Chain A
Amino acid sequence: MEIVKLIGVAIIVLGFALKLDVLAVVLVAGIVTGIVSGLDFFYILEIIGTSFVNNRLMSIFLIMFPVIAIIERFGMKERAAYLIGKIKDASAGKVLSLWIVIRSLASAMNIRIGGHVQFIRPLILPMTAAAAEASKGCRLTEKEDEKVKGLSAASENYGNFFAQNCFPAASGVVLIQSGLAVAGYDVTLSSIASASISVMIISIILTMVQVFLFDRQVKGGKK
Chain B
Amino acid sequence: MTDFLGVYFPEFFYVLCGLVCFDTAFRARKNEEAKIGTIIFWTLTGLIFMLGKVIPPVVTGSMLLVMGCLTLTKQVKMGKFAEAAAQSKQAASERIGTKIFIPAVTVGVIALVLSFVKYDAVNAEGVATPTALNGAIMTGVACVLALILAFVICKPKISETREDTSRLLMQVGAACLLPQLLGALGSVFSEAGVGEVISNMISSVVPKGNIVIGVIIYVFGMVIFTMIMGNAFAAFTVITAGIGVPFVIMQGGNPAVIGALGMTAGYCGTLMTPMAANFNIVPCAVLETKDPKWSVIKAQVPMALMMIAVHIILMLIIGFR
Contacts and interface: CB of A to CB of B under 8 A. Distances in A.
B64 interface: yes
A33 B156 contact: no
Contacts of B183: 51-52, 54-55, 58
B136 A57 contact: yes
Interface string B131-172: 000111011100110110011011010001100110111000
Interface string B269-285: 01100110111111110
A34 B65 CA distance: 15
Contact of B156 (A23, A70, A192): A70
Interface residues of B, number: 146
Interface in A1-55: 2-3, 5-6, 8-9, 12-13, 16, 19, 21-24, 26-30, 33-34, 36-37, 39, 42, 44-55
A132 B293 CA distance: 23
**Prevailing SS type, chain B contact patch:** helix
Contact of A70 (B67, B151, B176, B228): B151
Interface stretch (A87-95, A141-149, A215-223): A141-149
B174 interface: yes
B180 A59 contact: yes
A37 B240 CA distance: 24
Given A9-B194, A154-B303, A199-B310, A47 B20 contact: no
Contacts, number: 422
A138 interface: no
Nearest to B65: A27
Contact of B97 (A12, A79, A118): A79
Interface of B: 10, 13-14, 16-17, 20-21, 48-49, 52-53, 55-65, 67-69, 71-72, 74, 84, 89-94, 96-98, 100-101, 103-105, 107-108, 111-112, 115, 134-136, 138-140, 143-144, 146-147, 150-151, 153-154, 156, 160-161, 164-165, 167-169, 174-189, 191-194, 197-198, 200-201, 228, 232-233, 236-237, 240-241, 245, 249, 254-257, 259-264, 267, 270-271, 274-275, 277-284, 286-291, 293, 295-296, 298-300, 302-303, 306-307, 310-311, 314, 318
6 contacts: A26-B178, A65-B165, A69-B165, A73-B164, A79-B98, A175-B237
